[in-house]
Amino acid sequence: MATEKRWTAYDSIQTYFTTELDSLADDARALGSYIDFTATGTDQKIYMDIELYLAQIDLTSQHNPSVYVWILRRLAGSTIEDGYLNSSPARKPEVIIPLNTINYVQRIVSSLVLTTPYQCKMLLQNKTGVTWASSGNTLKYSIYSLQDV
């Protein structure tokens, strides 16, 4: 008999970036704190939804504005893989969030982002062509998985 799969319940939505995104200049980065994906037992979650909210932003004169997000794995001790406030990793981001070329607030959700069985930090880079609003910008996430029914 075939086993069916269904989504597990979301963990509660976690706010990851707030003031770190205020007045974030074009091409600048924000590096967050550790997220622990190493839960034991049946509670391990392998997917993440990322929700980006940008307060009023004028992208009408921009071409392909986006936001890059890397999930940087913790290595030995407190070291993480390359990717810092002053440099991007030498690999593609886990998520590229495209934005609309409008003059308005924007809320975008990227779903089914694969997590990793380690502690990680998220690195976000503003690739919109403009500096973001001075307040009200956030990045949130929630994690979930599949289960047999």
Give SS3 for 20. Answer: helix
* pLDDT one-digit tens code per residue, 88-144: 888 999 999 999 999 999 999 999 898 887 888 999 999 999 999 999 999 999 988
Contacts of residues 33-41 at CB distance under 8 Å and 24 or more positions apart, as own/partner, are: 33/121, 34/74, 34/119, 34/120, 34/121, 35/119, 35/120, 35/121, 35/122, 35/141, 36/119, 37/115, 37/116, 37/117, 37/118, 37/119, 37/120, 37/143, 38/117, 38/118, 38/119
* pLDDT number for residue 42: 47
CA distance 116 to 24: 27
Greater confidence (84 vs 128) lies with 128
| Token pair recorded at residue 131 | 């500096």
Domains for the chain: give ranges and CATH numbers: 16-142 (2.60.120.260)
CA distance 125 to 85: 9
Q: Write out pLDDT tens, residues 33-80.
A: 988 876 654 456 788 999 999 999 999 999 999 999 999 988 877 777
Contact assessment for residue 37 and residue 144, using Cβ atoms and an 8 Å cutoff: no
Helices (H) and strands (E) in the chain, counts: 0, 11
Q: How confident is the model at residue 7 (pLDDT cuts 50, 70, 90)?
A: confident
